[in-house]
Amino acid sequence: MPRLLIFTDLDGTLLDHATYAWAAAQPALDRLRSNQVPLIFCSSKTRAEIEPLREALENRHPFIVENGGAILIPAGYFTVPLPPHRTIGGHLAIESGAPYPVLRRTLGEIAAAADVTVRGYGDLTVKDVAALTGLSIEDAARAKARDYDEPFTIEGTPADRARVLDLIEARGLRWTRGGRFHHLTGPHDKGGAVRQLSELYRQQYGRMLTAGIGDSLNDLPMLGAVDRPILVRRPDGGYDPDVALPGLEFANGIGPAGWNAAITALLQATDVKTPPP
């Protein structure tokens, strides 16, 4: 019987798109905890944003920040050898992201070359970010503490947007889209981080059954890297049409309500009873 390992997106998936509340997912969160199933946060959010969430949700597991920019692992969590890493904020960090100053500079160059107005988080004040996201001032400041991923908006026609995105690819960088913003990253995504972390669990525990749950295009690489990919409904009740994948399961519910239904069903179907040692 393989052990279950779950990767989850946060914004619009475990957390409500507008209020960032997870109350609707609490029953399934409780079941995961009582069954000791590792729940891995895998988000475009920063370390500064995810750390307080882990505290609030009493989550003691590794987590993936800024669309796969780094995997952060609590010291002593694994006994198997880790890939090259450094220590950041008391966690062991396996980094694959491009440095944020490089992303900022490149985004500016691309906007100039495309002659399009592009606004990144680095161009915005904390107040701007709070207004655009509905985050508190304190949380918006945490969202601006970025290391590997720049969220941005493009002002212009679809052709302007396409020109900016093409230039990003021509530079060897990547773009993706979350619930609110486009994102510029180095050559990494959620999927690479999910594969790398799943492999560490396999080395430590043997066979694992992996599940992933998300709502947007930036979750597609994560969903492609797990055995059981699950998509929740967006606030308008529909599914993101850009997320297509063989074997994709469609949760019947928006954000955390869909999360609760899908994870409850997954736990029942996989008959998880045995906690890890």
120 lies in the binding site for Mg ion (CB under 5 A): no
Residue type, 213: I
16 lies in the binding site for Mg ion (CB under 5 A): no
- State in angstroms the smallest separation of the CB of 108 from Mg ion: 26
67 lies in the binding site for Mg ion (CB under 5 A): no
Q: Which of 151, 179, 191, 256 binds Mg ion (CB under 5 A)?
A: 179
Nearer to Mg ion, 67 or 106 (CB): 67
- Tell me the site size for Mg ion, rule CB under 5 A: 6
Is 9 an active-site residue? yes
Which whole-number Å values give the CA distances from 231 to 172, 174, 209, in the listed order?
Answer: 29, 22, 17
149 lies in the binding site for Mg ion (CB under 5 A): no
Query: What mask, x for binding Mg ion by CB under 5 A, covers residues 78 to 97?
Result: --------------------
Distance from first CA to last CA of the chain, Å, rounded?
14
- State in angstroms the smallest separation of the CB of 179 from Mg ion: 5
Q: Which of 12, 38, 186, 255 binds Mg ion (CB under 5 A)?
A: 12
Q: Which 3 state secondary structure label does DSSP give 108? A: helix
11 lies in the binding site for Mg ion (CB under 5 A): yes
Q: Does residue 13 come out as left (phi exceeding 0), alpha (psi in the -120 to 50 range) or beta?
A: alpha
- State in angstroms the smallest separation of the CB of 111 from Mg ion: 25
Nearer to Mg ion, 82 or 132 (CB): 132
- State in angstroms the smallest separation of the CB of 239 from Mg ion: 12
Cα 236 to Cα 205: distance, rounded to the nearest angstrom? 40
215 lies in the binding site for Mg ion (CB under 5 A): yes
Token look-up 């990003």 returns 168
Cα 198 to Cα 257: distance, rounded to the nearest angstrom? 26
Instruction: Work out whether the CA dihedral 252, 258, 261, 264 comes out positive or negative.
Output: positive
Window of 23-31, 83-91, 214-222, 248-256 that interacts with Mg ion by CB under 5 A: 214-222
9, 149, 189, 240: the active-site residue: 9
Cα 28 to Cα 259: distance, rounded to the nearest angstrom? 8
Residue 237 φ/ψ, nearest 5 degrees: 95, -15
Residue closest to Mg ion (Cβ)? 12
Token look-up 């109350």 returns 23
Rg (CA), the chain: 18
Window of 46-54, 210-218, 226-234, 263-271 that interacts with Mg ion by CB under 5 A: 210-218
Cα 181 to Cα 151: distance, rounded to the nearest angstrom? 6
133 lies in the binding site for Mg ion (CB under 5 A): no
9 lies in the binding site for Mg ion (CB under 5 A): yes
Cα 50 to Cα 59: distance, rounded to the nearest angstrom? 10
221 lies in the binding site for Mg ion (CB under 5 A): no
Active site residues: 9
State the residues that interact with Mg ion by CB under 5 A.
9, 11-12, 179, 215-216
